Structure 1
Amino acid sequence: MLQRFIDEMMSSLFVIDDEPPVVVKWLFDVLDEEAEREGIVHPEILHAWKANCLPLRMWANLIRRPELIFDLDKSPAVESSLTVISQSLVEACLSTPHAISKNSPSHKLVFAKDIARWQCSVSEYFESVRSRPPVSDQDLGVFLQQLSRSQAAQFDAIAALKELYVYINKYRDAVVHALDATPACQQLFLSSRLSNIAASLETPIC
């Protein structure tokens, strides 16, 4: 009874006919460039990077824990079902062939015929995004500004900035080192700008 809805969900996550979201295209291109720069020739490594950045970090978590964005309570039965679906998405994002045995976990057995098909969908989606025209940093900036303006009344920007700063301050040495070592960040003087922000908050960062 639920199979149709699960198939529709998987299809909606990995649409190859439409233009991918600007942020996804930009991020995947960054990963492609990093793989080339590091001389990574094994496609399964790049596949794992992309899978961990989008479907696993975001979609798998939201499927398993919809209360992150919705005000709802889950019954134990619903929670178990969502966990099975989430784990099936994790399996679909693997680049290795899907194999099952009598000792396989329940989600592998329930969706044994579907996971291999979903794996193909994930690979085709990654390839589709890679083949699209690149997104420049300027295009990304314009998109994020438009998104920010459209959502201005729905979020507390000061609270969000505070949480970001708490995170950055926690890993300040690594963040500053990364900014100083990245040419694009050097051109934008991000390390100096971050230090100025820290100074204005009376919390020296470097």
Structure 2
Amino acid sequence: MSDARLVEQAHAATYRWPLDLAGFEAELVLTEDGRAHTGHLSVELRPGKPPKVSVTLEGAATDQVHWTTRQLTRIVTHRQESPFAKELTVVPEEREHPLGVLLKADDRFSSLFRVRGDWITEVTRTMADTVNRVFHLRRESAPDGRHLPAVLASTRSSLDGQIVQVELIEDTYAEVGGLMFPRSRSVISQSATGVHTRLIELNVKEVAR
């Protein structure tokens, strides 16, 4: 197998929902710096289109609702079935890196992928004046043998390398109706606004197929 196909192989080894999953509903709790807000999550999946994610949180500020919606949209988007259709080029001098082979994509984000075996260990994307890196530190196995991300580290930096935000993320999952759904996401972040701890907890109640 060519190095350029490593990302495609690792993409296929990552757990995703079947195409006939139309969406789901879940009870939701956001706990931020020790204060909890209860609410509801509604997800509508549309093949070939971005998911519709709707969040309500009682007594939460607008920025808390927006943050929770962004996090859940990212989780749902990564579990939604999608083809990997990027042309990749190996960076030769990075072949021996402990996190794996580095490959670059010719896309609008100048995306970089680092792959070790069937595991995408790092994804880097450049957006406007920031560089976002996500490191996949630990994963867990789904019942069908594919993998789910469990522990991630994320950094956001300026183009000259100055780090402006660091996040440590831990995800857990629950099996409902034979499928794996998010159960929780814990995020510890540090930025110019200080250190924050946030926990999203989900209890999936209804699955539409």
TM value normalised by structure 1: 0.24
Question: Which structure features the higher share of strand residues?
Answer: 2
Which structure: greater helix fraction?
Answer: 1
Larger Cα-atom Rg = 1
